[in-house]
Amino acid sequence: MFAVHNHPHTGWRTRRRPVMPQRTLCAALLGCVSLLHAVNADYLDQLKEKVPYYRTMTGRFAPLYPAFAKQMVQDYGLKAGVAVDVGSSCGGFAMELARQTAMKVYAIDIDTATVRLCGALVDQAELTGRVVPLEGDALDLPLRDNFADFVFSRGSIPFWPDQVQGLKECYRILKPGGVAYVGGGFGRLLDPEIRAKLVRDHQNWKKKPDGWQDLDDLDKKAEQAGLPRFRFLTEPDVGWWLEIRK
């Protein structure tokens, strides 16, 4: 229904829509918000189903990320600047590093659904702009030369088809004076009981994941990549890393 009245200055007859009562307007807005939340929740659930690693990240591996971020901060004095997590999956480490420092962290993964899920989780964690999910290949990183102060990659390099090329890429995007920490393991700051269980799980693998390559010759891969400054580091029982400096 419209209300008809004469305009006070022109005398024209105009029709005015009735004003919606405030209570009705609030109810309508709340309904829209609820619908958006439901749509977003459904979308997030669909992404989680597409990314099986999400259950691992939020389950048995959940304690890893705060411990690794803390270790990297302690070992390399990380405070601010640009970091890159290569093979970030759902962004567990990237988000923890952003929480513990003022760094901007680029979380790179090759899988589209994983990158989308990472973006949703970053928004949910209120880290939008601090953590930047990015789709890309470890063998051809979508970043310019001398881009990052710190490069991290845990558990991704065993699946790189060409580990030598991947190491070259990590070195390429490092700024002069930067450091990269690439490999696999559980770190030194993880609770000993949790670490012992994860080590047992790893050692009791009945079958290695498809595409898995062992890391006990990472030093040879670093030499093949022509890296001028690196250290090959090992952890007790399980853990092989390259510390790369530029």
- Closest to 230 (Cα-Cα) out of 217, 214, 246: 246
Residue written as tokens 């513990």? 100
Q: Which pLDDT score, from 0 to 100, does residue 27 have?
A: 43
pLDDT digits (tens, 9 = 90+) for 136-147: 999 999 999 999
User: Residue 35 pLDDT > 50, yes or no?
Assistant: no
Cα–Cα distance for residue pair 223/16, rounded to 1 Å: 79
Q: What is the pLDDT of residue 67?
A: 98
189 neighbors 67 (Cβ within 8 angstroms) = yes
Q: Under a CB-based contact definition with an 8 Å cutoff, are residues 148 and 178 in contact?
A: yes
Residue 227's contacts (CB-CB under 8 Å, 6 or more residues apart) are: 167, 171, 242, 244
Q: Give tens-digit pLDDT for 187-202.
A: 999 999 999 999 999 9
pLDDT classification of 37: cutoffs 50, 70, 90: very low
Confidence of residue 207 (pLDDT cuts 50, 70, 90): confident
- The residue among 195 and 214 whose pLDDT is bigger is 195
With bands split at pLDDT 50, 70 and 90, how would you rate the model's confidence at 186?
Answer: very high
**Residue 223 pLDDT exceeds 50:** yes
Angle, helices 112-124 vs 22-50, to 10°: value is 140
30-34, 121-125, 207-211: least confident range: 30-34
Please determine, for residue 38, whether its predicted confidence score (pLDDT) is greater than 90: no
State the Cα–Cα distance between residues 139 and 108, nearest whole angstrom: 12
Q: What's the pLDDT score for residue 229?
A: 98
More confident residue, 41 or 108: 108
Q: Going edge to edge, which strands form the sheet with 82-86? A: 131-135, 104-109, 82-86, 148-154, 174-185, 239-245, 230-234
Q: What is the mean pLDDT of the chain?
A: 88
DSSP 8-state assignment for residue 155:
S
Does residue 2 or residue 69 have the better pLDDT?
Answer: 69
pLDDT tens-digit series, residues 44-102: 999 999 999 999 999 999 999 999 999 999 999 999 999 999 999 999 999 999 999 99
What number is the average pLDDT over the span 140-167?
98
Q: Compute the distance between CA of residue 100 and CA of residue 42 in angstroms, rounded to an integer.
A: 30
> Is the pLDDT score of 233 beyond 90?
yes
CATH number, domain 55-245: 3.40.50.150
Percent of the chain with pLDDT over 70: 84
3-state secondary structure of 192: helix
Structure tokens at 221: 């891969």
- The whole-number pLDDT of residue 15 equals 53
